[in-house]
Copies of this chain bind each other. A is one copy, B any other.
Amino acid sequence: MKPIKVGLLGLGTVGTGVVRIVEGHQDDLSSQVGSPIRIEKVLVKDLQKARSVSIPEEMLTEEACDIIHNPDIDVVVEVMGGIEPTKQYIMEALEQGKHVVTANKDLMALHGREIMAKAKEKRCDVFYEASVAGGIPIIRTLMEGFSSDRIKKIIGIVNGTTNFILTKMSQEGAGYEEVLKEAQALGYAESDPTSDVEGLDAARKMAILATLGFHSDVALEDVDVRGISQIKKEDIAFAKRLGYEMKLLGIAERQDDQISVVVQPTMVSTSHPLAAVNGVFNAVYVYGEAVGETMFYGPGAGEMPTATSVVADLVAVIKNMKLGVNGQRALTPYKEKKLKTDDQIVYKNFILLHVEDKAGVLAQITQVFAEYEVSLDSVVQQPNPHNPDAEIIIITHQASQASMKKVYKHFDNLDVIKSIKSAYRVEG
């Protein structure tokens, strides 16, 4: 049987995993797709570099055109990352009629629309399961498993680096800077950790999930992002005392046809299944109108988990090739995108205030909430052992972001309030 020939762009962590799976699972894969799968060419930066998989020298190339313009190659697997020249390679490969499997969330979040349009024009598949939540097949689940349902909410722990940091801070009571250094030493965080810790990586993934879940074309700039670098260990201690775990959540919500997508540190009730997702694991919680509550849990990154998703996509492409139906299963967003305004985005809030320790303060503060119609779940005032101010911990009921902004603005002008020490969204 004629083998299916694959060109691999990149031989880093994920690329190495792809080679291992395609070679190691060859019998199982060919039993499923009906032909051998052969990796024909691999684009690398440096032919001489030592590698942890043995690859015949003649398979390696430093020239992308050896893959993209190679008439023997049926499918291009892109695991080199980055935006350029990667995008150009993918567009050219599609132009040549090659199918594409990519693990590139940045590219799909920023240029997914253009890439999918080219794929449709050329009747090619572009699959990108590995771009979100590594080994968890969440993109398939949204596209197919829940095709019949109307998704109302997607909450994701979709960045392993920040979840590792927050888990360590919670379990060991350690500070952010200290744990970040540890994560860097372990290879879980990059030397420039900005994209992870400031929530940008999670935002890209949430844009992809929201687009699929809500059938609207959600772009990266539609996602309201706040990272974890300002979280103090005291915040996490407060959260735990109140029965919450601090998590960096991506939250995509739909109410009628209005949607919102945010990434923000959130206090998650310990009774919520997401609260127990620890370390570098990822999880995506999906709430559908008909199905109700579901959750999908697994490794969010790493050589073999991510490669599992890449090769599962490769299997799907090859099955489509055999059936002659490539390029016909992509979902195109068919709903106009309508973003919620601040007064439509509603959630519970945790607020920690430092205030003057004198009579009547609590009354003044609760009066402010009343003025903007924010009702309160609990208010606790306690003396602060470290300084003369008192601490007030407030948890609100559901309140609109617009109202909360007014509350905070009013607080700025209230003399008895020394500072708003912390404010977090609360879920569950």
Q: Is the CB of A307 within 8 A of B290?
A: yes
What is the distance, in angstroms, from A72's C-beta to the closest C-beta of chain B? 22
Q: Is the CB of B292 within 8 A of A298?
A: yes
Q: Is the CB of A312 within 8 A of B21?
A: no
Q: Is the CB of B297 within 8 A of A297?
A: yes
A:279-326 near B, CB below 8 Å: 281, 288, 290-299, 302, 304-305, 307-312, 314-316, 319, 323-325
Residues of B within 8 A of A291 (CB): 135, 298-299, 304-305, 308-309
**Which of A23-31, A55-63, A110-118, A163-171 is near enough to bind chain B?**
A23-31
* Distance of A295 Cα from B277 Cα, bound (Å): 11
Q: Is the CB of A290 within 8 A of B148?
A: no
Q: Is the CB of A312 within 8 A of B273?
A: no
Q: For residue A325, which residue of chain B has the nearest CB? A: B323
* Distance of A152 Cα from B137 Cα, bound (Å): 18
A:221-272 near B, CB below 8 Å: none
Residues of B within 8 A of A314 (CB): 148
* Distance of A271 Cα from B288 Cα, bound (Å): 28
Q: For residue A282, which residue of chain B has the nearest CB? A: B294
Q: Residue A366 at the B interface, CB < 8 A?
A: no
Task: List residues of chain A with CB under 8 Å of any chain B CB.
Answer: 17, 20-21, 25, 28-29, 31-32, 129, 135-137, 140-141, 144-150, 215, 273, 276, 281, 288, 290-299, 302, 304-305, 307-312, 314-316, 319, 323-325, 328-329, 331, 334
